[in-house]
C-alpha cells in the first residue's frame, strides 16, 4: 500500500491531505478570509498559511491515524498559483520530506483537481471543465498530456465573480462565489450582459467592467436588485462555459463531462451543464465542496499517481512555478 501526504496552498486555502491507494484518510484545511470588499494579498495570505500549516499537518496525521514513518512520499503544489503562498507550502513540504527521510514530489495544481475528480466520480475519460479563482480551462486527455482545448484569455471565472462581490460588498465568508450563488437564487430580472466567446476561448474582463459600471447606476436608481445582478452574471458566465465545453465534447467525441475547481461546486453551473449533457446523451460528473475547493488530498492523489509511475522531484529542483501549464506535465500514469 502506498501512502502519500499532500500540501496545498496556492491561494487562500491551506490544506494537508493523506491518500492511501485511492482512499482519503484525512483532508483538513483552513481558509484565509478578508473583510467584505477586499481581496487577499499574497504576503498576507502567506502569513496566514505560515501561522496554521503545522496545526493542519498534525490534524491530518491524527485524523488518518498515521505516523511520519507510515508515509511513503511528500507531495506539494508546485504551481500555478500565488507566489508567496506557494513558497510557504513548498518550504514546509521540503522540510518535512528531509526530516522524515521521504521522497518529494512537486505537483501541478490543475492536475491535482483532475485526478481528485477522477477518483471521486469514477469518470472514465471525461472532457474536463476546470473553473476556479485563478483558472478557467476546458481540458481533455490525449497521448500522455492533458490538452487544453479552450481557456480564458484574461481573468478566470472565479476571479470575475470574486471581484464583482467586492463591488457590491458581498461577504467573503465562506467564499464570495458561494454567497453570489445564494443571492442569485433570489434574482428575478435578467440584465443583458456582454457574451464573449472567441472560438474555444472565453473573456471575462469586459463583462466585469460592464457590470461594475451598470451596478452603480442600476442599484442607485432602483432598476434592479443586487440579487438580479448576481443572477444575471451567473447565467451569462455559465452559458459561455457550457458552450465551449460542448464544442470540446463534439471535437473529441466525448460522452462525459467532469467539472472540477472551486467554482465547480456551484449547483447552477452543474444544472446548466446537466441540461446540455442530457441533450447530447452524455453524463455529467461533479464533486461537492470537500473535493472541488482547493484541498490537500487532491495534491496527494495526483502525487500518488505520479509516484507510482516513477516520478520524484529532486531537492535541487523543488522550486515553485507560478505559471505552470496543465499541458506541460507528461501524464505517465494513464494509458
Binding residues for substrate: 130-134, 162, 177, 181, 266
99 vs 105: CA distance, rounded Å: 15
Binding residues: 109, 113, 130-134, 162, 177, 181, 266, 294
Q: Which of 108, 118, 124 is nearest to 325 (CA)?
A: 108
Q: Cβ of 290: how many Cβ atoms within 10 Å?
A: 14
Tell me the three cell numbers of residue 186: 433570489
Annotated binding residues for a divalent metal cation? 109, 113, 130, 294
Query: Which of 89, 84, 92 minimizes the C-alpha distance to 43?
Result: 84
Cell 508546485, residue located: 78
Residue 121's nearest CA partner among 287, 250, 274 is 287
Spatial neighbors of 47 by CB under 8 A, at least 6 apart, are none
State the alpha helices, DSSP H only, in the chain: 42-64, 83-100, 109-121, 157-167, 176-184, 205-220, 226-252, 267-280, 289-292, 296-308
Contacts of 306 (CB under 8 A, 6+ apart): 75, 105, 107, 332, 333
Report the distance separating Cα 229 and Cα 233, nearest Å: 6
What residues have CB less than 8 Å from 259, skipping those under 6 apart? 117, 128, 129, 131, 269, 270, 273, 284, 285, 286, 292
Amino acid at each position: 500500500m502506498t501512502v502519500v501526504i499532500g500540501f496545498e496552498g496556492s491561494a487562500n486555502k491551506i490544506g494537508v491531505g493523506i491518500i492511501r491507494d485511492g482512499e482519503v484518510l484525512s483532508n483538513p484545511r483552513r481558509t484565509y478570509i478578508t473583510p467584505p470588499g477586499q481581496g487577499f494579498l499574497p504576503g498576507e495570505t502567506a502569513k496566514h498559511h505560515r501561522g496554521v500549516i503545522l496545526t493542519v499537518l498534525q490534524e491530518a496525521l491524527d485524523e488518518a491515524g498515521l505516523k511520519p514513518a507510515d508515509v511513503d512520499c511528500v507531495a506539494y503544489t508546485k504551481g500555478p498559483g500565488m507566489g508567496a503562498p506557494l513558497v510557504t507550502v513548498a518550504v514546509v513540504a521540503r522540510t518535512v520530506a528531509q526530516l522524515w527521510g521521504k521522497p518529494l514530489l512537486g505537483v501541478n495544481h490543475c492536475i491535482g483537481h483532475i485526478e481528485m475528480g477522477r477518483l471521486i466520480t469514477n469518470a472514465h475519460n471525461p472532457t474536463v471543465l476546470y473553473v476556479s479563482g485563478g483558472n478557467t480551462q476546458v481540458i481533455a486527455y490525449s497521448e500522455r498530456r492533458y490538452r487544453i482545448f479552450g481557456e480564458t484569455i484574461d481573468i478566470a471565472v472565479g476571479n470575475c465573480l470574486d471581484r464583482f462581490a467586492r463591488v457590491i460588498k458581498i461577504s467573503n465568508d465562506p467564499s464570495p462565489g458561494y454567497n453570489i450563488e445564494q443571492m442569485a437564487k433570489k434574482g428575478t430580472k435578467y440584465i443583458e450582459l456582454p457574451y464573449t466567446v472567441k472560438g474555444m476561448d472565453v473573456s471575462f474582463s469586459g463583462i466585469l467592467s460592464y457590470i461594475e459600471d451598470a451596478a452603480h447606476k442600476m442599484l442607485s436608481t432602483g432598476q434592479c436588485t443586487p440579487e438580479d445582478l448576481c443572477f444575471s452574471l451567473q447565467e451569462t458566465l455559465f452559458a459561455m462555459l457550457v458552450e465551449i465545453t460542448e464544442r470540446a465534447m463534439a471535437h473529441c467525441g466525448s460522452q462525459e463531462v467532469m467539472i472540477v475547481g472551486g467554482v465547480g461546486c456551484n449547483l447552477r453551473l452543474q444544472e446548466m451543464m446537466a441540461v446540455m449533457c442530457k441533450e447530447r446523451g452524455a453524463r455529467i460528473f461533479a464533486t461537492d465542496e470537500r473535493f472541488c475547493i482547493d484541498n490537500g488530498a487532491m495534491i496527494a492523489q495526483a502525487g500518488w499517481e505520479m509516484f507510482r509511475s516513477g516520478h520524484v522531484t529532486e531537492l535541487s529542483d523543488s522550486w515553485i512555478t507560478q505559471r505552470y501549464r496543465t499541458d506541460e506535465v507528461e501524464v505517465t500514469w494513464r494509458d
